[in-house]
Structure 1
């Protein structure tokens, strides 16, 4: 049976995660790893499969818009271990609310884009007897968060 590699080079981790070597060094510098990055005999970074799993979580959280300070805080809490689950939950709930808001805004954008695609498809369809109006009533943008708070 083949031995499972537990010591991965930075290049191997970059290949497995899709992050660049530069990004991995940045993540280390920013304190985003749960475990300290180990060094091999020659001083080169050595990673484990757990590090790759953690990076996968980080990649998803960053792709969802989690700011670096929040991700750094989350990594700190995980590093501390049990006992701070309430704070981790609060951090995740806040991010969940932000992502939900972002999805709502993107859905509104997608609705307008779909409308425009339909208009142009109708314009380019020679058999269409449609109105060919390119402008739809554009909804007013939602108020800026600071405007909502001041009301």
Structure 2
């Protein structure tokens, strides 16, 4: 039983607008149309849409995804090329994760720093090295703001 675009939107979490946009951009040439022109999606189409969503979520540009879809439509003759695309995207995601971990380390440090500053009542009493986020945050007791 084919799915309507509305049903696919509910199943995938994508809006009908996004699905139509992806179709216009050539990302879903595999979707058949009824005699009246309505898109008719299959479970296999849903799997492919999930892959498109994954690739988009990893930062791949729509033009690159379209090239991948075109290769997939050509069949097994393009297996090696598609594998290489996945390997490249895998490396890109690993680099994103590494950069995100650096950002998270910086945020963790800042949370510890500002927690200590709130406890001390001033930033002036707090010392630490943002470039060495694992180092302890130290509160200089002499600079602590005395509270009544």
* TM-score (norm. length: structure 1): 0.76
Q: Work out the CA distance in 2 between the residues paired with 1:77 and 1:86.
A: 10
**2:6 corresponds to 1:11:** yes
Measured in 1, the distance between the counterparts of 2:132 and 2:22 equals: 41
| Alignment-derived partner of residue 48 in structure 1 | 42
Which SS does the other structure have where 1:28 is aligned?
Answer: helix
Verify: 1:30 aligned to 2:25, yes or no.
yes
How many pairs does the alignment contain? 130
1:63 equivalent in structure 2? 57
Mapped pair 1:136 → 2:126: no
Deviations 1:68-89 (A, max 9, x none): 1221111111111112111111
1:70-120 C-alpha deviation (Å, 9 max, x unpaired)? 211111111111121111111111111211111111111111001001112
Q: List structure 1 runs of 4+ shifted beyond 3 angstroms.
A: none
Q: CA offset at residue 135 of structure 1?
A: 6.6
SS at match of 2:127: coil
Cα displacement (A) at 1:67: 1.3
Whether the aligned pair in 1 keeps the contact of 2:23 and 2:29 (CA below 8 Å) is no
Structure 2 unmatched ranges of 5 or more: 134-148
Who is 2:105 aligned against? 111
2:111 is the alignment partner of 1:96? no
Using the size of structure 2 for normalisation, the TM-score is 0.78
The structure with the largest alpha-carbon Rg is 2
RMSD: 2.3
Match of 1:79 in 2: 73
Gapped regions of structure 1 (runs ≥ 5): 1-5, 140-151
Aligned residue for 1:89, secondary structure, equals: helix
Kept in 2, the 8 Å contact 1:34–1:78? The answer is no
Q: Secondary structure at the match of 1:106?
A: helix
